[in-house]
């Protein structure tokens, strides 16, 4: 029997314990030795939990128990998660995590620590919740040059936007439901302002380039400026607003990475990804387009991804499972040189000015939205758009359009 410890008995940690219990027969049918959760580390007591006797409050108990081979870090945040993970790896205990903040900040260092101590650092659950996307990128696609990744990478914001869009619910009401369902971060600003999606696209970009894409270097916008009016225009254009993490490598080697809301045309498979679902749309130079789809947040889906890593570590006790991700920082291309079309809304009084700035603008109309002029620009660089848009004093919003050809 492989003995493991779970750090943090919150949404994901309790899901891992529940899953290992409920699916023990399934696990044993493929891994006859079985997996047992010996300890659960948390600062809280859980007197009513069936697992109350496994709760410990001191990490030393776990570190000093030679029976513990694998640690699931489901605490979130940087500290003490980083110190605990490092200490476990230094003891030769593999670590499986759902903590995207930690992976984005310290991934290469923790992978190296694992390599130095013949154990593994695995983080399938850090991107896309229950979707297996990291393992396919690291194993099934190593023969490919991955030229583009487009992802709906945050379940909370996708849930908020689609319920606002389809049911006309208010932002605050839907956020509250997302929190109750365990989708949102402790501080939901990380979801709403795009930081969570940004960390996830940084992880994916690092894995496909093998270098470190720093999330601090990625231009990041969330959904807090998106209004129900924007959604009405989107519908009129047969598009949907989606918060995307985007990573593109051009033929001349430029790498563009961005997190922002985009207008996604209905012809694109990401258009129909709704609710808490995430999807990662990958283009490889040989395999062409692939899409990975599933629940991007929530207790059991995320626990499923953590447990997949536990089983892989269990099959590799005493060995390091390598991950190609060096600490060399990848210089990203100037985001202002990227080009695309933009959707723009200004007061009707600025229509003539807008048309003089954006000569090929195509007007967009939506029912019930009078008194303003909305349009889609011709393709141009971000820098050019910013320069022109600065002359518009009544700019209500601008949203990038996803180009189907890129």
Query: Judged by CB, which is closer to ligand HSE: 137, or 197?
Result: 197
Query: Judged by CB, which is closer to ligand HSE: 39, or 277?
Result: 277
**Nearest approach, Cβ of residue 185 and ligand HSE (Å):** 5
Footprint on this chain of ligand HSE (rule: CB under 6 A): 100, 129, 154-156, 183-185, 191, 196, 296-297
Query: Judged by CB, which is closer to ligand HSE: 303, or 374?
Result: 303
Catalytic position from the list 100, 200, 211, 299? 200
200 has catalytic annotation? yes
144 vs 209: CA distance, rounded Å:
11
Query: Judged by CB, which is closer to ligand HSE: 175, or 264?
Result: 175
Query: Judged by CB, which is closer to ligand HSE: 137, or 243?
Result: 243
Adjacent-strand bridge partners of 7: 41, 73
Residue nearest to ligand HSE (CB): 156
**Nearest approach, Cβ of residue 278 and ligand HSE (Å):** 7
The CA dihedral of 107, 93, 34, 73, to the nearest 10 degrees, is -50
Query: Judged by CB, which is closer to ligand HSE: 275, or 284?
Result: 275
Half-sphere exposure of 42 (CA within 13 A, CB side): 20
**Nearest approach, Cβ of residue 196 and ligand HSE (Å):** 5
**Nearest approach, Cβ of residue 380 and ligand HSE (Å):** 32
Whether the bond into 304 is cis, omega within 30 of 0:
no
Contacts 24+ apart (CB under 8 A), 363-371: 364/233, 364/236, 364/237, 365/236, 366/229, 366/232, 366/233, 366/235, 366/236, 367/232, 367/236, 368/232, 369/229, 369/232, 369/233, 371/347
179 vs 346: CA distance, rounded Å:
34
**Nearest approach, Cβ of residue 159 and ligand HSE (Å):** 7
**Nearest approach, Cβ of residue 135 and ligand HSE (Å):** 17
Catalytic site positions: 200
């Amino acid at each position: 029997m492989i003995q493991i410890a779970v750090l943090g008995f919150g949404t994901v940690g309790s899901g891992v314990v529940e899953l290992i219990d409920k699916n023990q027969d399934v696990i044993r049918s493929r891994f006859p030795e079985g997996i047992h959760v010996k300890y659960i580390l948390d600062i809280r007591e859980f007197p009513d939990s069936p697992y109350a006797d496994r709760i410990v409050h001191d990490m030393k108990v776990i570190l000093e128990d030679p029976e513990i081979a694998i640690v699931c870090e489901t605490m979130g945040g940087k500290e003490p998660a980083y110190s605990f993970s490092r200490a476990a790896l230094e003891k030769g205990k593999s670590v499986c995590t759902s903590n995207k903040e930690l992976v984005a900040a310290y991934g290469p260092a923790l992978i190296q620590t694992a390599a130095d101590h013949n154990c593994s650092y695995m983080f399938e659950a850090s991107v896309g919740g229950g979707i297996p996307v990291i393992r396919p990128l690291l194993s099934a696609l190593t023969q490919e040059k991955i030229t583009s990744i487009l992802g709906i990478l945050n379940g909370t914001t996708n849930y908020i936007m689609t319920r606002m869009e389809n049911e006309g619910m208010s932002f605050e009401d839907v956020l509250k439901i997302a929190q109750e369902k365990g989708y949102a971060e402790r501080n939901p600003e990380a979801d709403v302002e795009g930081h969570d999606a940004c960390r996830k696209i940084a992880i994916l970009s690092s894995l496909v380039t093998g270098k470190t894409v720093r999330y601090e270097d990625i231009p990041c916008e969330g959904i807090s400026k998106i209004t129900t009016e924007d959604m009405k225009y989107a519908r009129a254009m047969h598009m949907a607003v989606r918060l995307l993490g985007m990573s593109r490598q051009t033929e001349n080697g430029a790498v563009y990475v961005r997190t922002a809301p985009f207008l996604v045309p209905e012809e694109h498979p990401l258009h129909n990804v709704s609710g808490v679902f995430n999807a990662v749309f990958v283009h490889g130079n040989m395999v062409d387009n692939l899409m990975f789809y599933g629940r991007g947040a929530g207790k059991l889906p995320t626990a499923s991804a953590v447990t997949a890593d536990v089983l892989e570590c269990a099959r590799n006790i005493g060995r390091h499972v390598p991950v190609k991700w060096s600490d060399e920082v990848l210089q990203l291309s100037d985001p202002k040189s990227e080009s695309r079309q933009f959707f723009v809304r200004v007061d009707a009084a600025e229509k003539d000015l807008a048309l003089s700035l954006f000569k090929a603008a195509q007007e967009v109309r939506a029912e019930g939205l009078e008194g303003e002029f909305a349009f889609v620009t011709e393709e141009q660089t971000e820098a050019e758009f910013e320069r022109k848009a600065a002359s518009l004093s009544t700019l209500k919003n601008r949203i990038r359009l996803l180009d189907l050809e890129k």
